[in-house]
Amino acid sequence: MFRREKNDFFSIGGQVNNSSSQSEETLERAITAIKKFEMNTLAAPLYWYQTEREEGVYDFGQIDFILKKARENQLKVVFLWFGTWKNGASHYVPEWVRADGKRFPWVKNAVGATTRILSPIGRETMEADGRAVAKVLAYIKEQNRDDTVLAFQIENEPGLLGAPRDYGRESEEIFCSEIPEDMKKFLQSLKDGELFKIWKENGSLLDAPWKKTFGLMAEEIFSAYCLASYVENVAAAGKKVYDLPLYVNVWVRETRSRIPGIDYPSGGATSLVLDLWKYFAPHIDCLCPDIYFDDRDTYQMVCSRYSREDNVLYIPESHADEKNALHIFEAVEKHMLAGVHCFAIDSTIDNDGNLKPECEQFRHTVKILASMKPLLEKYQGTGKIYAVVQQEWMESMFFDFGDFWGHVYFLNSITDEPYIHLDCSHDDEEHVKVRGKGLIVYTGNGEFFLAGDGFKLVLIRKDNMEFITSSLRGFKYLNARNQAYKVVEEGEFNQEGDFVPKKVRCGDESDMGLWVYYDVGLVHAVLEM
Ligand code: N0T
């Protein structure tokens, strides 16, 4: 799933609320919501305390139950291991772990108070967590002959929330000693990036303690070193028994005042320490940002930072709202995106099982993405996928498709005056004041696929300029009037991944450009070359 392989499954999913993977009723509700959205994956937590109430005695009931429900509903599954850390705290650990602070030490904060966060230098805690994960993965392996389970999340937003690092005696000793050998090696392997800059600015030291080496950011970098090494051990224990894609989700630091340990858990795989995490946790296949930002710039900035040669972009948590419904298309265009999941999926429906109005736009987005799934799996990262997103004040967009120029006009104008009113077959009452969005795939040789909401595409073959300039007709009619279309049709992909046309568009329906609404399915057009 995270390997940049062609035709990897594109996961569009819903993550249940933290307490919802326990009972039939709550899980049912989450699945109802997932079905409403027509998503393909269910993401659900497994709690360490429930899995191993007594040390060494395991209960996999939660796994069975979630798998059964998913299979009944033809859904894939992503399991989330709520182990040592969950959002920078340790609320999901078994009672026997909680009760033994000697064996499983807690983080001490700067004034020496004991927190409820388990220390990342707790060797026994790490081994216990790793043993549990290995047992869980061994069980999942047995149960997963049909590939229902796509991936496994190690911890949940690991890090320390409430202290930038552990100030306990043992941790203090390490922090005040010269940085360890493997850390030196890592620093020498760096070529650029924020952490590299910080190291340089502090004198590129290799024989000094942490504070001297990293200055202001020493606490976060130190915690990241401890956390990444810990998580690596847990992941390696799991991988050894079952090679399932493993990932770590991140409470990102691109937020508020950006103080580690206050605004976000310190030591998690934030953009500051991504290189470090990649280096020290090689058994983690993907480091994944939870993206809760509404504004486009921050959202896209986070995507860009996590999308790297050595890291596919996967968004394990985000909002099922109208902002994410737009932003995700640009992420699909720009990055290798393994999938997108929405958090708190059971809260997107009301008590009668109806999708809440504020989630409607995201439902359309899921429909659009799902209709294109085989194309996304095939063409991601090839530059053949183009995002259409109507930003504020935008009336149209221009595209250069190589052989063609494309003009996109938005139909669901968000101003009161639709720029061009045209679709004859659609009742426009329903389609007002929503931003245009969607995707265009140009496979080459004049073949286009479009799915989206509220736009139309007019194509101009570049080598056909003479015709265009001598034509007295507005170019919005061009493709049809010069008989350039070989075919324009609506349809969908079947299970085998073949496109099945349902309706051929002709006359008024094709004369005015290639138009899309979320409920017409996929539009396929082939133009003469
Ligand atoms: C998330 C969720 C859940 C714009 C919060 C997000 C989930 C956990 N944490 O509802 O608890 O289990 O992974 C932290 C987001 C920080 C807000 C960013 C400001």
**pLDDT tens, per residue, the chain with 529 residues:** 887 676 789 999 999 999 998 888 999 999 999 999 999 999 999 999 999 999 999 999 999 999 999 999 999 999 999 999 999 999 999 999 999 999 999 999 999 999 999 999 999 999 999 999 999 999 999 999 999 999 999 999 999 999 999 999 999 999 999 999 999 999 999 999 999 999 999 999 999 999 999 999 999 999 999 999 999 999 999 999 999 999 999 999 998 889 999 999 999 999 999 999 999 999 999 999 999 999 999 999 999 999 999 999 999 999 999 999 999 999 999 999 999 999 999 999 999 999 999 999 999 999 999 999 999 999 998 999 999 999 988 888 999 999 999 989 888 654 434 434 444 344 455 445 688 999 999 999 999 999 999 999 988 888 776 666 655 455 545 565 556 889 999 999 999 999 999 999 988 788 778 999 999 999 999 998 8
User: Would you say how long the chain is, in residues?
Assistant: 529
- CA–centroid distance, 391 to ligand 1, in Å, is 26
pLDDT of residue 276: 98
Q: Kindly report the protein residue whose alpha carbon is nearest to atom 6 of ligand 1.
A: 251
- Identify the CA nearest to 71 among candidates 20, 33, 36, 31: 31
Domain boundaries 3-176+219-378, CATH class: alpha beta
When computed from its CA atoms, the radius of gyration of the chain, rounded to whole angstroms, is 26
Residue carrying the six token digits 């549990």? 132
**157: which residues sit within 8 A by CB, 6+ positions away?**
85, 86, 87, 88, 249, 250, 251, 265, 268, 290
pLDDT of residue 4: 67
User: How does strand 437-444 pair with strand 447-453?
Assistant: antiparallel
State whether the beta carbon of 58 lies less than 6 angstroms from ligand 1: no
Look up the ipTM and state it.
0.96
Domain boundaries 386-527, CATH class: mainly beta
State whether the beta carbon of 255 lies less than 6 angstroms from ligand 1: yes
- The domain spans of the chain are 3-176+219-378, 386-527
pLDDT of residue 478: 59
- CA–centroid distance, 520 to ligand 1, in Å, is 35
Q: Which atom of ligand 1 is nearest to the CA of 157?
A: 13
pLDDT of residue 483: 60
pLDDT of residue 281: 98
pLDDT of residue 196: 98
Torsion of CA 142, 144, 149, 150, to 10 degrees: 100
Are the beta carbons of 485 and 408 closer than 8 angstroms? no
State whether the beta carbon of 18 lies less than 6 angstroms from ligand 1: yes
Within 10 A of 58 (CB to CB), how many other CB atoms are there? 15
What is the distance between the alpha carbons of residues 92 and 129, in angstroms, rounded to a whole number? 11
